[in-house]
Amino acid sequence: MKLWDKGISIDKKIEQFTVGNDREIDLHIAKYDIQASLAHAKMLQSIGILSKDELVQLEGGLEILAQQIEEGTFTIDSQFEDVHSKIEFELTKTLGEVGKKIHTARSRNDQVLVALQLYYKENIGIIYDKTEVFFNTLLDLAETHKKALLPGYTHLQVAMPSSFGLWFSAYAELLIDDVYLLNAALKTVDQNPLGSAAGYGSSFGIDRELTTKKLQFSTLKYNVVAAQMARGKSERTIALTLGSLCNTMARFAMDICLYMSQNFSFITFPDELTTGSSIMPHKKNPDVFELIRGKCNKIQALQTEMILITNNLPSGYHRDYQLLKENMILAINDVKDILDIFNYAIQQIEVKNIDLNDAKYQYLFTVDNMNTLVEGGMSFREAYQVIGQQVQEGTYKPDTSKEHTHKGSMGNLCLDEIKTKFPKCEKHP
C-alpha cells in the first residue's frame, strides 16, 4: 500500500531503490506519527470534517497501534513503503471508511516532518539529561581529586603544574558550551510544521494553533514553505550540536588513552573495564575509550553529510530529504549510548600518585619561580631571562611551594560556580 497509489504498478527495482530501508528506520518515529495523527484527528473534528463518533473511533484505533509500538509488536511489512502508509492501512482495515479520512488536509511531507520534529525534540531532551548526569559526575571527580597534582602540557611538552581537579572540571565546563548548542537545536525543532501539507498549505480551514497546543510545540512554523524548508536545516543544526558534544568527549577519551599509557601512567581502570591482546599477555587496553573516541569522531562528520545532501536544494520538497533520516537517527542513538558508557566507566577511574620531583618534571615550575622573582621587584622580561639562563646552564632548581589562588586555577577550581552555570534545558520551563 502507498499513500500515493493511483492504481498504477511501479517497477519493482525502482520501488526497492526509492523505499530503501525506510521501513526499519521508521520504527524509530512510529510513536511520534501516532501522536501527530491523534492531534490531527482532533483538529479535523474541531473544524467539522470528522464527527465526534468518528474521532472516538480513530482515537481507539490509534491507541491500539500505540500499544503495539510500546510493546514492540508493531511491524512494517514489505507491502508498505513506510510507517505512515502502514498506520493508515491498519486504521482503514479496522475502521473502514473512517480510517480513510485521517489523511485529510495533510501530506506525507508534513506527516513525516512533524514526526521527525517530535522525535528530535524528545531525544535532544534525553541527550541533555544524560549530559547533565555526565557533567555532575565530572564535577564530583574534580572535588574528590582536587588535591592530586598532574603535569600540564603544551605541544605535548611538559609545561606547568596542573591537577586532576582542574582536568575533570575543564571537561565539565566544556560540556556547558555543548548544552548551549543543545538548547539552540531544541529551539529550532520546537516549531510545529503540521498543516504545511506538501509545502503550500491547504484550502481546508485547518486550525494549526490547536495541533501546536496538542503536540506541545512552543510555537508554529507559520510559513508553510518555511516549514518544509526546515527539513534539512533541522538536521544540519542537530548534527552541528552533536558534533560539538562529541568533540568534547573525543578529546577527553584521547586524554584518557594517553594518560593510561606506560609513558604517562597517570591513571588506570579496573581490569574488567579493559581488554587484552591475543598475542601479548601483558596488555591492558583502553578499548572502551578508543571506541568512544572513534564513534565521536564519526559523528562529527555527520554535519558535512547533512550539508552536502541539502545545500543546493531549491525551495519545496525533494526526495533527497529521505536520506537524512537514517544516519541522523543512528547518531542520536549512538550519542545517548556514548554518554551512558562514558559516565559509567569514568566513575571507576583510579588516579595515581604522580611524583612531580621526577627529573622529567623539573621544569614544570619555571613560570612559578619566574613569578616569584617578579614579585620581588624584578621586571618580567629580566626574570624570564634569569630562569631561562638557569635552564640552559643546568643550574635551575625548582621551588614547588608556589600556590595558585585566582579563580579557575588549580587552587581555586570554582566548582560551585561552574555547577551553577550549567544552563536549564529549554524543554523544562
Q: Are 42 and 55 a contacting pair, CB within 8 Å?
A: yes
Cβ 117 vs Cβ 192: under 8 Å: yes
Pair 291, 348 in one domain = yes
Residues 254, 190: one domain?
yes
Question: pLDDT tens digits for 352-387?
Answer: 999 998 999 999 999 999 999 999 999 999 999 999
Confidence of residue 429 (pLDDT cuts 50, 70, 90): very low
Report how many domains make up the chain.
3
**Which residues have C-beta within 8 Å of that of residue 376, sequence separation ≥ 6?**
none
Note whether 225 and 345 are same-domain residues: yes
Asked if residue 117 and residue 72 are part of one domain, the reply reads no
Distance CA(286)–CA(271), nearest Å, equals 10
Predicted pLDDT of residue 358: 92
**In the structure grid, which three cell numbers stand for residue 402, read together?**
608556589
User: Does one domain contain both 56 and 117?
Assistant: no
Classify residue 160: in a domain, yes or no: no
Question: What rounded mean pLDDT belongs to the chain?
Answer: 93
The owner of cell 549512538 is 334
303 and 377 co-located in one domain:
no
Full residue range of the structural domain in which residue 75 is found: 12-101
- Tell me the mean pLDDT in the region 45-67: 98
| DSSP, residue by residue, 220-251 | E--SHHHHHHHHHHHHHHHHHHHHHHHHHHHH
Q: Is residue 399 part of a domain?
A: no
User: 224-260 and 164-189 helices cross at what angle (nearest 10)?
Assistant: 170
Percent of the chain with pLDDT over 70: 93
pTM, to two decimals: 0.93
The CATH number of the domain holding residue 169 is 1.20.200.10
Q: Are residues 28 and 53 in the same domain?
A: yes
Supply the angle between the helices 30-46 and 52-71 in degrees, to the nearest 10.
170
User: How far apart, in whole angstroms, are the C-alpha atoms of residue 98 and residue 91?
Assistant: 8
User: 146-191 pLDDT, tens per residue?
Assistant: 999 999 999 999 999 999 999 999 999 999 999 999 999 999 999 9
User: 4 falls in which pLDDT band (50, 70, 90)?
Assistant: very low
Give pLDDT, residue 428: 46
- Tell me, yes or no, whether 149 lies in a domain: no
The reply to whether 255 and 305 lie within a common domain is yes
Please name the residues in contact with 280: beta carbons below 8 A apart, sequence gap of 6 or more.
none
Q: What is the pLDDT of residue 6?
A: 47
Judge if 122 and 91 occupy the same domain.
no
**What is the greatest pairwise CA distance in the chain?**
94
State whether 49 and 114 are in the same domain: no
Q: Which amino acid is at 185?
A: A
CATH code for position 90? 1.10.275.10
pLDDT of the residue at 9: 62
Q: Do 114 and 47 sit in the same domain of this protein? A: no
DSSP class of 29: T
d(CA 119, CA 29): 6
Check residue 21 and give its pLDDT: 72
